[in-house]
């Protein structure tokens, strides 16, 4: 079944290349409904908004409060490429009339490209849905079961208006960004797509409990349960995920090339005597996107106080050109004002800490933030990041981040 779907997707790419001679037709502006089709046939829905800017078609991916403007939507005949502004992610699309699209979504990964069928249509007046039999407004204690049957905790924080649901799911390391969906009777569906994340949550509501399935990307599938709990919190880790090795000393010492090919070292004059924030990230990481937006804004507002930021990128491959091209999209999208360095080590490499920052025990979470004091020694390590979709968790993260920086500047 999976092989047949992949063959169909590849044939569709070939078909798109033959349609350039057909007459170009404009798409109708407004709200569209779009879906990706997984290998098991499950559809991951998301919003699509079509607008025109100076007669140029502009498409936005819509996830609840978030609108992501896509890049380079230019039709030749009835075919086009629609690129996401960050990530190695794009659509090959074909118009079917002025109110329908189909094609494929292509995502670059460490092992090659993932290709999923895609379709979209203009959102007509929706049928009146069945009355919601439950209300999930508020906070929920969640437990997600991995395929190997181990458990991981999470907190769900949702808003409900009639049948519409939005919010996010927060894990001990990050959040699942902006989720949006609907309740039909006692069944709930919410999902997100941002160019990297493609997630679908299905569940049945039974009073103050939910039982469901989490579909992640092309093949990921996990069971989950949730119980209403307005005081739900995430557990504290038993031991630090990343720490400084006692035998190695605390002073970091590294140099890597930036995305323009220049060698940059933490020992450069620019960083001496300053508080340096190291962003452990990758251009494939959705939460790194939110963190890059936060850090870029923070640096512009605080750089004159004696702080610097350096991004250390762990990418999908050791190909420096591929990594640099992907990171340039981050720099352009968020107008990144600090150095972004290519470590040359894959994000999946179990020895990435030893190869790049041997003073540390490990690097497991993306993003991770390392705070370095004026003497060049590691003062604090934060292995989680919560973006704006997580609301109060995001506000707490910002307060604690600012407190850490202020303390280091005062010393």
Residue percentage of the chain with pLDDT more than 90:
80
46-51 long-range contacts (CB < 8 A, ≥24 apart) are 46/180, 46/191, 46/192, 46/193, 47/180, 48/120
pLDDT exceeds 70 at position 248? no
| CATH superfamily of the domain spanning 255-410 | Glutaredoxin (3.40.30.10)
Torsion angle of C-alpha atoms 9, 13, 19, 25, degrees rounded to 10: 70
The domain locations on the chain are 2-122, 138-228, 255-410
What is the per-residue pLDDT for 179?
97
Nearest to 240 by CA among 336, 43, 381: 381
Write down the mean pLDDT value for the chain. 90
- Whole-number Å distance between alpha carbons of 145 and 295: 33
Say what the pLDDT of residue 81 is. 92
Place of tokens 């779009």: 34
Q: How far is CA 396 from CA 126, 218, 248, 401, in A?
A: 38, 33, 32, 8
Let me know: does 316 contact 342? Beta carbons within 8 Å.
Answer: no
CATH fold group of domain 138-228: Lipocalin (2.40.128)
**Domain 2-122 matches domain 138-228 at the CATH topology level:** yes
Return d(Cα 239, Cα 344) in angstroms, integer: 28
Is residue 362 over pLDDT 70? yes
Output the pTM of the full model.
Answer: 0.89
Residue with more model confidence, 22 or 140: 140
pLDDT at 71: 81
More confident residue, 411 or 156: 156
Residue 282 pLDDT > 60: yes
Residues 6+ apart with CB under 8 A from 232: 139, 140, 141, 142, 155
Residue 296 and residue 299: Cα distance in Å, rounded? Answer: 5
- Classified by CATH at the fold level, domain 2-122 comes out as Lipocalin (2.40.128)
pLDDT tens digits along 10-27: 444 444 433 333 344 589
């Amino acid at each position: 079944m999976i092989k047949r779907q992949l063959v169909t997707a590849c044939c569709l790419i070939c078909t798109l290349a033959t349609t350039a001679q057909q007459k170009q037709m404009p798409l109708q502006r407004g709200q569209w409904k779009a879906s990706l089709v997984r290998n098991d046939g499950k559809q991951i829905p998301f919003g699509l908004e079509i607008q025109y800017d100076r007669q140029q078609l502009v498409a936005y991916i819509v996830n609840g409060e978030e609108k992501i403007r896509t890049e380079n939507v230019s039709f030749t005949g009835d075919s086009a490429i629609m690129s996401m502004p960050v990530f190695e992610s794009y659509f090959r699309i074909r118009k079917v009339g002025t109110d329908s699209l189909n094609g494929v979504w292509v995502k670059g990964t460490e092992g090659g490209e993932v290709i999923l069928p895609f379709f979209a249509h203009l959102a007509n007046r929706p049928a009146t849905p069945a009355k919601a039999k439950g209300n999930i407004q508020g906070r929920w204690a969640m437990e997600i079961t991995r395929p190997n049957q181990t458990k991981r905790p999470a907190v769900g924080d949702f808003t409900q208006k009639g049948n519409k649901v939005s919010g996010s799911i927060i894990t001990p390391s990050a959040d699942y960004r902006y989720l949006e969906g609907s309740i039909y009777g006692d069944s709930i569906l919410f999902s997100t797509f941002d160019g990297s994340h493609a997630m679908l949550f299905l569940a049945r509501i039974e009073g103050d409990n939910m039982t469901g399935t989490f579909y992640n990307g092309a093949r990921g599938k996990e069971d989950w349960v949730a119980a209403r709990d307005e005081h739900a919190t995430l557990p504290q880790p038993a031991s630090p995920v990343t720490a400084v090795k006692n035998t190695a000393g605390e002073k970091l010492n590294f140099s890597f090339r930036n995305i323009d090919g220049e060698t940059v070292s933490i020992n450069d004059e620019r960083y001496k005597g300053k508080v340096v924030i190291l962003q452990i990230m990758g251009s494939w990481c959705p939460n790194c996107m939110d963190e890059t937006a936060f850090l870029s804004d923070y640096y512009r507002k605080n750089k004159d106080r004696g702080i610097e930021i350096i991004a250390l990128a762990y990418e999908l491959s050791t190909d420096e050109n591929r990594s640099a091209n992907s990171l340039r999209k981050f720099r352009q999208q968020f107008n990144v004002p600090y150095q972004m360095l290519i470590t040359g080590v894959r994000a999946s490499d179990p020895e990435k800490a030893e190869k790049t920052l041997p003073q540390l025990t490990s690097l497991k979470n993306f993003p991770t933030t390392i705070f370095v004091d004026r003497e060049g020694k590691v003062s604090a390590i934060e292995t989680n990041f919560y973006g704006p979709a997580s609301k109060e968790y995001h506000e707490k993260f910002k307060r604690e981040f600012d407190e850490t920086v202020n303390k280091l500047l005062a010393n």
